[in-house]
Structure 1
Amino acid sequence: MPVHDHPWQENRVSSEVAMSPVKSEFRRIGIVGLGYVGLSLAVAMARKGLEVHGVDVSADVVSALAAGAPHLYEPGVAEILAEEIGNRIHVGSTLPQGDLDAVIICVSTPVDEETGEPVLANLAAAARDVARACTADTLVVIRSTVPIGACREVVLPVLQRAWGRAQLVMAPERTVQGRAMRELAELPQVVGGLDHASRDRGLELFAALGTRLVPVSSLETAELVKLANNCHLDVTYSFGNEIALLTDRLGLDPLEVLHATNTDYPRAPIAKPGYVGGGCLSKDPYILMSSARGVGRTLGLIGAARALNEELPVHVADRVVDLMREAEIKTLLVLGWAYKGTPPTDDIRGTPIAAMTAAFSQAGLRVLGHDPLVRPQTIRDLGGEPVDMAAGFAQADAVLVITDHPEYRALDVGALLKDSEVRLVFDSWRVLDADPIVGSGIRYCGLGYAAEVGA
């Protein structure tokens, strides 16, 4: 079957705005919410010469940032924060009154664990805070991921009641943790406005980042862009996971299948099987499905993909428990407690281990935990005993690798296994050197794969 480009691809460049440096009206910017999204944006804008006033509801976050110490890991953030705090970056619990040129809302928008419906209390509270501190001349930008229509239905009424009119923009965040600073300088910024005047001001604001701008026709279009990006990724990743769950039954190697499938084949490559989590992919499908239900549409493909990706860590946990029960062993070392390892992050939102611990606890396993970036107390909170690498291998009789962190790729696993009691290694991403493992008679497994012992 011939492959055709989508018609819009021929003209897509014409809808983008390539911005050269211009004199901007924007000088003082407020950012509400200093998590991964808000903090990385704050330091990026400060580095471009803007005066940034960041606020957060967490006193601990404000205190840490005021001391120049970021509460999260994102390459490049700590260095810029240390240089700019008290200079171009100011943090507090409330916005300064009255004279901000723009305020960017970067608060979390979780989904209810029982219903899957988006919870917009943080967004509404942020809108009220902006309405109290600012004026109708302040451009209000929503950066948070929201259901389609939320900017118009949740934020706009609050601003209009306070000011009589408002300038409102949706400019979705689309960076990846671990590469946020680079991608803020490289990724096109999508900007949709309440009206042309709002959108034009939004384009001028984000021109400060020095990247391409993609204006779209409405708030709702911009809202859907972010959801479409992430739900497409979730669906894409689920296909590789579907193949792995099948090869698990067939006794085949999913990586061999995918390598042969993708090699020099000029079509869309199939993704390597792996866990799909994080603050976006674990919730954005639910947000989009909720929006679709509101207009009488069921998104079956997106729902099935999310269900499959959520099944994967539970499947692995059950598989590990069964293998450990067969071997009559009880101590499991888990490597990787963040939701991903490449690029490295300390973010535990949507982490696979959270879905696994119930099975481990029910089986009576002792769970040791290691992660290069996640704090020991966080590992304890998630049900593990923090250990260093050497102590973990010395005490464990099974190892589960959850993330593909560069540190794990570089392990001298043969040396770590020497004189250890480890009898099982489940290497989810297949990042370890399998030869010394199977050569020592240790059972070696991965997603959809089990090597022959001693092979």
Structure 2
Amino acid sequence: MYAKIGVVGLGYVGLTLAAALARKGYQVYGVDTSPAVRDALDQGRVHIFEPGIEEVFADTVGRSVFVGTSLPAEVDVAVISVSTPVDDRTRQPDLTNLAAAAEQVARWCGPETLVVVRSTVPVGTSRRVVLPPLLAAWGRAKLVMAPERTIQGQALRELVELPQVVGGLDEESRRAGTEFFAGLATQVVPVSSLEAAELVKLSNNCHTDLIYSFGNELALIAERHGLDPLEVIGAANLDYPRPDLSRPGYVGGGCLSKDPYIMIDSAGGEPGPFLVGAARRLNEYLPVHVANRVVELLRQTRGGTVGRTLAVLGWAYKGWPPTDDMRGTPIATMMPVFRAAGLTVVGHDPMVPAEVIHRYGGEPTSIDKAFGEADAVLVINDHPDYRAIPLDTVLTGGHRPALVYDSWRILDEAAITAAGIRYAGIGYLPMPRPGTTVPAQQMEPVQPFDGAEPAGGGGSSTPAGSRVGA
């Protein structure tokens, strides 16, 4: 029944869906407002990194995938996958793109077209924002909400293997949406309404944010008491028949950095939500806390920070699965702290172009130079290249950093400290071995997180706008 599919919005969500549909043999018509995106895709070049996507577009553009500025009237399905950003200042969802896309679909298509909302939205938005222009133009509509829930780096596989949740305006819509997604995924989960499907997406991502925030809370408490958070978490989890505790770490990405605010908007005010906002504040605080720790430790090991060089390894928001996505990256909120301390920041990331590192205030460097020339090294993400750093090679030169702050604890601590280098990680500030430059009595106590906005900026100040998460 469904052969021609329109996708409005070719960002990460729309592009991966278009590629997955093309692989299944559908004719796909993609629309994007950016001329640069359209021109690149017309030539088979994609503007995001996601395994398998480039090959699909190189093979299908002009044959079964067509990119333009409008949808043909005869598409069977029109999927709206435009961005729904959160305002950096007010934290309110901006639904301008969604409203514009709904108006466009209403002009381009007709009442027989199944309209699918794929964007992440506050509960009630599909009915309140998308439906009215369709009814005004057509008098009736088939409308479903089917949230995207993939993880970057595995999108093409997960679009097929993950259950696709479908909520409909009515039974006819839900039946049509279920039939459409059955042609893509191995399992479809119909739910009772548009609103139920909207809340499913928010629930998944906010729960992930909450889980990670507890690991980060434990790390801050462990740091306060001079304990190793990984030891505590590992012992707590071992053969214990309750939900595992998460390791501490940064929480970013396009979804986890904004969906909690969409959930808060959906809650509609007092009372609550009680947990979602607190978890997000803590996860946004962590990069600033780490930045302040790095500055403090460097001051202690080098006697000051002004004019010192900090090498930052890992600028994308996560390292595994690899991505070049800078949305919600920790470096965005760390850089003001480093600038205030007078540090020169050099950077490396296997996935992030040099011009992006420049844009965020860093000077591109190599791994060898990071260890061979900088005063301190901060490892932000866990890309496989960093796990494989040959410490026996990079630490054998005449110059060595005074500090390695290994956020994910992926490097060999013993090899680093044996070279006379101070080693630390999130929530982990062990005393240096004898022979290093920092006496134990110089360590300053760590102030506990009190829920206040941290110095240096605790908000998510990304230029665009998870560890893991959809």
TM bucket normalised to smaller:
over 0.9
Q: d(CA) in 2 for partners of 1:210 and 1:347?
A: 26
1:310 maps to amino acid: E
5+ long unaligned stretches in structure 2:
435-470
**Counterpart selection for 2:346 from 355, 359, 368:** 368
Instruction: Quote how far apart the aligned CAs of 1:213 are.
Output: 0.5
Farther-moved stretch of structure 1 (414-423 vs 221-230): 414-423
Q: Secondary structure at the match of 2:153?
A: coil
- Partner of residue 285, structure 2: 311
1:75 and 2:54 are equivalent in the alignment: no
- Partner of residue 32, structure 1: 8
- Partner of residue 345, structure 1: 323
Q: d(CA) in 2 for partners of 1:67 and 1:175?
A: 26
Give the TM-score of the pair, scaled to structure 1: 0.92
- Partner of residue 259, structure 1: 234
Q: Secondary structure at the match of 1:449?
A: coil
**Counterpart selection for 1:126 from 79, 101, 108:** 101
Q: d(CA) in 1 for partners of 2:124 and 2:62?
A: 37
Deviations 1:361-415 (A, max 9, x none): 1111111111111111111111111122223323211000000111111111231
The answer to whether the Cα contact below 8 Å between 1:237 and 1:272 also exists between their aligned partners in 2 is yes
1:120 maps to amino acid: L
- Residues 16-415 of structure 1 aligned to structure 2 (within 5 Å): 25-96=1-72, 98-293=73-268, 296-326=270-300, 327=302, 328-329=304-305, 330-415=308-393
**Counterpart selection for 1:442 from 421, 426, 432:** 421
Q: d(CA) in 2 for partners of 1:144 and 1:198?
A: 18
The answer to whether the Cα contact below 8 Å between 1:438 and 1:452 also exists between their aligned partners in 2 is no
1:429 and 2:408 are equivalent in the alignment: yes
2:327 maps to amino acid: R
Q: d(CA) in 1 for partners of 2:246 and 2:48?
A: 28
- Partner of residue 453, structure 2: none
5+ long unaligned stretches in structure 1:
1-24
- Partner of residue 454, structure 1: 433
Q: Secondary structure at the match of 2:183?
A: helix
* Structure 1 residue ranges, 4+ long, deviating more than 6 angstroms after superposition: none
Give the TM-score of the pair, scaled to structure 2: 0.90
Deviations 1:328-356 (A, max 9, x none): 35101101111111111111111111110
Q: d(CA) in 1 for partners of 2:366 and 2:70?
A: 40
Residues 1:391 and 1:261: Cα distance change in structure 2 (over 3 Å): same
Farther-moved stretch of structure 1 (160-169 vs 241-250): 160-169
Farther-moved stretch of structure 1 (414-423 vs 172-181): 414-423
The answer to whether the Cα contact below 8 Å between 1:439 and 1:453 also exists between their aligned partners in 2 is no
The answer to whether the Cα contact below 8 Å between 2:164 and 2:185 also exists between their aligned partners in 1 is no
Farther-moved stretch of structure 1 (387-396 vs 55-64): 387-396
Q: Secondary structure at the match of 2:268?
A: helix
Instruction: Quote how far apart the aligned CAs of 1:86 are.
Output: 1.1
Q: d(CA) in 2 for partners of 1:422 and 1:80?
A: 44
Q: d(CA) in 1 for partners of 2:271 and 2:192?
A: 23
Q: d(CA) in 1 for partners of 2:367 and 2:65?
A: 38
Structure with a larger share of its residues in helix: 1
